[in-house]
A and B are shown apart, each in its own frame.
Chain A
Amino acid sequence: MNDTVEERADGEIPWKPPVISAIAGALVVGSLVIFALVNGPVDDPEADALILAPVPSLDVPNGYTLMTNDGDVGLKVESMTSDGGSSTVVVSSAVRGTTEPADSPPPDVAYWEMQSDGESTVMDIQFTSESAVGTTTIVFPVSDAASEPIVAAYPTASVVSESTTMEVGPDALGEPIAFGLGFEPDIAISGELVVGDGWGTVEWTSPDGMVATLDVVVTLVGTGNPDGVSHPIRLVPGYDSSLAGPDSVIVSRPLYGFGGSYGLYGDGRVIADGGPLTSIVIELEGTVVTETADALVLTFDPAGD
């Protein structure tokens, strides 16, 4: 190989440097290819946005829209009727393909809104019952809704619960008793209850316009049988399972609302059946929705397509 310089001098191609250079180029690009394979594609925020945008999913059947606080449950408006001064919407819920229905809780919706003819109206009440499998009924104060209204569900994102116990004297029997339940910093449930001889009524509201539920249990202290065999009279809401005698009428537990009223029921005993009333103990437990998830917009398709 000592004659290389002479060979170049007489016009032959100098192969060695270009070949080394070609190998070097291949090595550089090959390294980049291996780097790309190991690290995957470059993150593209725009592409991510497209993936996260709501798209129809094959495994959500039959026109259901997935909840924003529970991706295994979808909602669909099934019926809308207007009657008198209100409109009633029935919404059904369904689970995704691989979800076991018995393992998934019913939709947790703080409140609903109807958009009809450019107006938004918040629900009066939402309710369901054990015999209405998978449906929720929502009543709006809309006398004549558009034929194809838009219904927005606001799923719960976070809640706070608070409980307290009040005790009042026997002279409060039959008189209105005001109560309040505070949540830091300023969310509250307030209301009034009346405790009678074996019965009670509750009315509550949220001054801050928050949606909530309120459970109330009243004990008429001293009214048990003097021999200690029977407990004092307890008054519980109509949905309390302790009422569940063989023939008892049990109502459904209220869903979240801006207020409510209901009866408190006893077991039929009155104060004269036992010892004298010495005090009235009132147990209050409230749950307030402090944050809702993104709204779920449902359209009503009268054609059922």
Chain B
Amino acid sequence: MSVRLITLTIVGFLLGALAAGGVGVRVIREVRALDDATSLPAQNIARDDGYHTDPTETLISSVALVPEAATFGDDGFSISYEMTSIAPTLGTESSQDDQPLYPKRWLVEALGGEFEGIQENATEPMAVFPLMVGGSIDQVDAVRVVEAFVPGSFETPVSISGAAPEVQVGSGIDVVLIGESDNGDATTIDVQIVADDGMVREVQIVGDGPGWSESSVSGDTVTLTRSNDVEAAEFDLIVFGTTWVVIEGEFIVNIGSIDE
């Protein structure tokens, strides 16, 4: 076999390999592109559009807020909305009636100015902008929630007595001893809960330390009974419950769901 023949054979082998390699690379790229298009990476198996209840939702804390309607009138502008909590609740007894968020202060940019709005109480999902008169949804440039609250739990030990019947618990909550009766074996007390600024969601009281039986509640008053085996002038209690806790930040509200 001549040198020339060997050289030509090697060149032929390389040319064949290169040609097949070129076609092969192209085929591999096509197949991988098809794979990428039909299977997402593992971390994106959830909705890749990110919303939980509606494409026009606004997420504030763990709550999806979706505006429902806007009203324009001589007495101002108002926005009503729906909220859906996306907090995990398996095994809890949380109520759907519990408001998961209190978006208290709002701001609207419209008609060349800014208008402040407020939601008067946590349970009525509507923000009112009294100074914004007239207009239409087309003239609203932006809506923001500028002060929002989430529910936060608290537990506070207090001591109360006939000599000091009123105690400030904090967060705008006072407890007041309004009744005390001794039936021989035990003493029953009535404690009134005073929390009137709308920022308290729930307050309850139980006895702290020895001698206490189950407590019961009626309206804003909790009745507690302590065995007279315990000799103490003061009644040690634990006040617990939930208040609205301010969260930081401003939140641009998507108003795409509003039909005028």
- How many whole Å from B64's CB to the nearest CB in chain A? 9
A22-B12, A137-B153 known; A37+B17 contact, CB < 8 A: no
Q: How large is the interface on A (under 10, 10 to 19, 20 to 34, 35 or more residues)?
A: 35 or more
CA distance A304 to B204 in the complex (A): 31
- CB pair A58–B50 under 8 Å, yes or no, is yes
CA distance A19 to B13 in the complex (A): 8
- CB pair B89–A102 under 8 Å, yes or no, is yes
CA distance A204 to B32 in the complex (A): 60
Q: Which residues of B contact A107 (CB under 8 A)?
A: 88
Tell me if B202 is interfacial: C-beta within 8 Å of chain A.
yes
Counting chain A CB atoms within 10 Å of each CB, the highest count among B9, B19, B41, B86 belongs to B86
- How many whole Å from B245's CB to the nearest CB in chain A? 5
A13-B8, A21-B10, A106-B91 known; A128+B153 contact, CB < 8 A: yes
Selected from A105, A198, A272, the residue in CB contact (under 8 A) with B213 is A198
CA distance A92 to B86 in the complex (A): 10
When C-beta atoms are compared, the residue in chain B nearest to A301 turns out to be: B248
> Of B72-80, B128-136, B173-181, B216-224, which binds chain A?
B216-224
- CB pair B47–A25 under 8 Å, yes or no, is no
From residue 248 to 266 of chain A, which have CB atoms closer than 8 A to chain B?
248-252, 263, 265-266
From residue 192 to 242 of chain B, which have CB atoms closer than 8 A to chain A?
201-202, 204-218, 222, 225, 227, 229, 238, 240-242
Tell me if A45 is interfacial: C-beta within 8 Å of chain B.
no
- CB pair B12–A199 under 8 Å, yes or no, is no
- CB pair B227–A196 under 8 Å, yes or no, is yes
Tell me if B's interface is mostly helix, strand, loop or mixed. Answer: mixed
Tell me if B103 is interfacial: C-beta within 8 Å of chain A.
no
- How many whole Å from B208's CB to the nearest CB in chain A? 7
When C-beta atoms are compared, the residue in chain B nearest to A23 turns out to be: B16
CA distance A249 to B242 in the complex (A): 14
- CB pair B24–A33 under 8 Å, yes or no, is yes
Please name 10 further chain A to chain B contacts, defined as beta carbons within 8 Å, in addition to the given A104-B90, A247-B218, sorted by A numbering. A33-B23, A59-B43, A94-B61, A101-B87, A105-B88, A129-B153, A129-B202, A130-B92, A131-B95, A134-B89
Taking beta carbons and an 8 Å cutoff, which residues of A are in contact with B? Answer: 8, 13-14, 17-30, 32-33, 36-37, 51, 55, 57-59, 61-62, 64, 72-73, 76, 78-79, 83, 90, 92-99, 101-107, 125, 127-137, 174, 194, 196-199, 201, 238, 243, 245, 247-252, 263, 265-268, 270, 272, 301-305
Taking beta carbons and an 8 Å cutoff, which residues of B are in contact with A? Answer: 2, 4-5, 8-21, 23-25, 27-28, 31, 41, 43-52, 59-62, 85-95, 98, 100, 150-155, 170, 185, 201-202, 204-218, 222, 225, 227, 229, 238, 240-242, 245-251
Q: What are 7 A-B contacts defined by CB distance under 8 Å?
A: A14-B4, A14-B5, A17-B9, A18-B12, A32-B24, A103-B90, A137-B153
